[in-house]
């Protein structure tokens, strides 16, 4: 990163669970929470990428110490296909048993890139189920799993990753867009359900983020031109742009924010 990250003392020693944490926005979020001194646990199916993310976090230990930041604990990786509900629920039970209550949950995992780009004519019953399970169902059930511990503690923060795809709207990905629109509604309803217990739930809606996968599969020169026409900021947005907002929303600095959707898209859409 060009500049040192903001540090939020309220996140030190907090147990943070992040889905889809091996690559892209998820990996940036893993790194940034680790720099807060949080105990970071992340789920993914990309084993090699997960180890790369862990190594990158560990490599920043000396840098963080020199800056006077909190001690960094290497992130903990669980191989988990979040689209498989029994596997997800078993993994959630293991995490709660082995690490205790979760203080912060980041529901980030999703099928992106070419996997999300399927027009209406091409959607089958099987691809519908796959996309719903990968992009939406796990958000609900992992939240359901961690809420009892948060309620008992009287506090907690959940951030759900949405997308501006349904706001543009972006043709050619109706199922993905439907899932991301649903995440905004889920965020608002659940924030009302649990606000009395001191739990905050927000969502973040990224725009076109230049992850490594997006660069490989989607970010052609033609698409970049489309993005730059839409954005007010004329630069590629990167995963850390989103991770900074996610970490802020999880911190006590955002203690009065819940039920909100924060757009991180360089000005492509004008409001939530």
Angle, in degrees to the nearest 10, between helices 138-153 and 85-99 = 20
Check 8, 78, 176, 223 and give the catalytic one: 176
Positions of E strands within the chain: 15-19, 39-44, 76-79, 104-107, 156-161, 199-206, 261-264
Active site residue 78: no
First-residue to last-residue Cα distance in the chain: 27
β-pairing verdict for 76-79 and 104-107: unpaired
Is residue 239 within 8 Å of 23, Cβ to Cβ?
A: no
* Triad 250, 13, 33: Cα angle to 5°: 45
β-pairing verdict for 104-107 and 261-264: unpaired
Structure tokens at 258: 């819940």
Catalytic residues: 176
């Amino acid at each position: 990163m060009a500049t040192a990250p903001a540090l939020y003392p309220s996140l030190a020693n907090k147990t943070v669970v992040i889905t889809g944490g091996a690559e892209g926005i998820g990996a940036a979020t893993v790194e940034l929470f680790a720099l807060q001194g949080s105990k970071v646990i992340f789920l993914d199916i990309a084993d090699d990428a997960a180890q790369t993310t862990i190594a990158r976090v560990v490599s920043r230990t000396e840098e963080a110490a020199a800056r006077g930041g909190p001690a960094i604990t290497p992130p903990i990786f669980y191989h988990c296909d979040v689209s498989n509900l029994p596997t997800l629920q078993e993994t959630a039970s293991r995490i709660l048993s082995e690490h205790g209550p979760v203080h912060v949950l980041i529901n980030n995992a999703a099928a992106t890139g070419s996997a999300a780009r399927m027009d209406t004519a091409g959607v089958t019953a099987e691809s519908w189920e796959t996309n719903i399970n990968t992009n939406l169902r796990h958000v609900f059930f992992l939240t359901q799993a961690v809420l009892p511990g948060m309620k008992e503690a009287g506090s907690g923060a959940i951030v759900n990753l949405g997308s501006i795809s349904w706001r543009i709207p972006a043709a050619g990905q109706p199922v993905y867009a439907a899932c991301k629109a649903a995440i905004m509604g889920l965020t608002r309803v659940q924030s009302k359900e649990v606000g009395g217990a001191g739990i905050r739930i927000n969502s973040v809606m990224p725009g076109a983020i230049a992850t490594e996968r997006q660069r490989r599969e989607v970010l052609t020169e033609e698409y970049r031109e489309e993005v730059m026409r839409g954005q007010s900021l004329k630069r590629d947005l990167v995963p850390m742009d989103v991770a900074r907002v996610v970490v802020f929303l999880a911190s006590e600095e955002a203690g009065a924010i819940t039920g909100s959707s924060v757009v991180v898209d360089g000005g492509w859409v004008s409001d939530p």
